[in-house]
A and B are shown apart, each in its own frame.
Chain A
């Protein structure tokens, strides 16, 4: 079974993947399953929101629609959930393995560093896709069981649309893991960047001065459930994937130069 670094990494990630699949799937199912109950609130779900807040959260989506509900309850948090998974596993990929002193033994094998990093990246990517497939399946199941009036295929695609955001974060996380000696430092920096850019993007609707800068936030390019109400903006997808690819190249370069002392 363990024939290469890819399979070994997947094996190591199996419990994390399972835990995230179960946890996020239950959450997604519950959110969809609960929609008929919460949508029956008199005046609609978001009737009390100020116009500016409503615009920021919902855009052109009708406040009493299931799409609005999902935007606030599900899609807004998907990047954060997947970020938690990616911060944990990318920081472990290089800095964590170096810290536990197994990296030296691995690299003493006839396997190039770029290949090690690539196989680890592919395994993490696989894990992320599996988690999102499980979440999408659970959401679709919840919507179907509860009889929510939604295009189930579009619902599933909307949840999978978090993957481009995950790709940039995968690249950035691997770069920090390869660049910094300490797993803790790598994780803290990635966490700081994720949280600060998330806040930047969220607050830019309320603080005019931030509007200029929110395009530097990866969350700005996240679809927020766009496929459910329209089409995916492929430019945004391209920017996120491109950023991930650039950080992946930087990660390889950092890893090549890394001195493995453990």
Chain B
């Protein structure tokens, strides 16, 4: 989708504060591609990040998350495609764009000879912000210790906190955070979620790259899943969960042929539990009415239905290795998606950790 097809009122740079910005889409990429010789790191990526949302960019290491981010910041050149931030082409208006972006890299490397305070002063100055009060406030919220000790002497967790503060000290309109919770303890992670929520409430857009699905599920308004450089899914967490099947496990008092469940509408991956022919496991995408009706003809010991987690969805999409479908595609044609799933799911959708996945 090209930038000009969006409802996009260009940002007026002289205006102060995100509340005055009438931009719907903050970050739009169109067919963004990056090749390193024959290796395609990012493949025709279409993203649309909207103002004021926390957008999760999910994928395992090597999926192309950091390469995408580096293109957005102008650190590397796209092989083809375009990226617009605040309606401006990042290649033509790099400085203007970066003035309103805060960035924390995934492989965090800070100037180890500087103290956190010196780094805040330096980084702030490059953004034209000479007051470090806000940085100190953030640092206090994140419990950064030793603000006047060399960064090289700090723990990894403290370095991570300093990196987060540095990315946000100038109150950017868009914060791009690449794996920000690495090395943070649970309490600080919780505090960071609070900071991000506060920033969002003030109108900041947050582009959060992560492979920690629990945090994406917790704080992201929408998520995109990237696999081998290609966008696999994008939608709200609720949308992803709504289209995802539930995992069911039915324990009977007697043997029940598995083919009674196979082929039921919306049912995939029906199978007997390993080593136990009285326990049926299956995934149900839509109504479980038919499953319950079949089960009711046999003595049932136990009946469990679990909502699938974002992690299950993520792993399912990965293991299914499938095509790029949007939420709208699936909503419009879940049968097609299910049919596709059937063909793909002849390979098991059980993830490596033994949990059920979603087949497409």
Contacts and interface: CB of A to CB of B under 8 A. Distances in A.
21 contacts: A1-B118, A2-B118, A2-B122, A3-B122, A3-B130, A4-B125, A5-B126, A8-B122, A100-B109, A105-B109, A108-B98, A108-B101, A109-B123, A109-B126, A110-B98, A110-B99, A111-B95, A259-B75, A260-B70, A261-B75, A261-B76
A207 to B, nearest CB: 45
A99 to B, nearest CB: 10
Contact of B76 (A100, A112, A259): A259
Contacts of B295: none
Interface of A: 1-5, 8, 12, 100-102, 104-105, 107-112, 259-262
B253 interface: no
A109 B96 CA distance: 10
A113 to B, nearest CB: 9
A111 B125 CA distance: 11
Contacts of A262: 107, 109
B147 interface: no
A259 B79 CA distance: 12
A104 B95 contact: no
Interface of B: 70, 73-77, 94-96, 98-99, 101, 103, 105, 107, 109-111, 113-114, 118, 121-123, 125-128, 130, 166
Contacts, number: 68
B180 to A, nearest CB: 14
A260 B76 contact: yes
A242 B121 CA distance: 36
B73 A107 contact: yes
Contacts of A259: 75-77
B92 to A, nearest CB: 13
A174 to B, nearest CB: 19
Contacts of B96: 110
Nearest to A111: B126
A195 to B, nearest CB: 30
A102 B125 contact: no
Contacts of B126: 4-5, 109-111
A108 B114 CA distance: 18
